[in-house]
Amino acid sequence: MNLTAVELKAFVPARDFERSKAFYQALGFEVPWSSQDLAYVRHGPVAFLLQRFYVPEHAGNFVMHLLVENADDWHAQALAADAAGGFGARIDAPQDRPWGIRDFTLTDPSGVLWRIGHNLPMAAER
In angstroms, the CA 14 to CA 109 distance is 8
In contact, 83 and 89? CB cutoff 8 Å: yes
User: What are 3-29's pLDDT values in tens digits?
Assistant: 999 999 999 999 999 999 999 999 999
pTM passes above 0.85: yes
DSSP 12-62: EE-SSHHHHHHHHHHTT-EEEEE-SSEEEEEETTEEEEEES---HHHHTT-
Domains of the chain and CATH, by start: 11-125 (3.10.180.10)
User: What are 71-100's pLDDT values in tens digits?
Assistant: 999 999 999 999 888 999 999 999 999 999
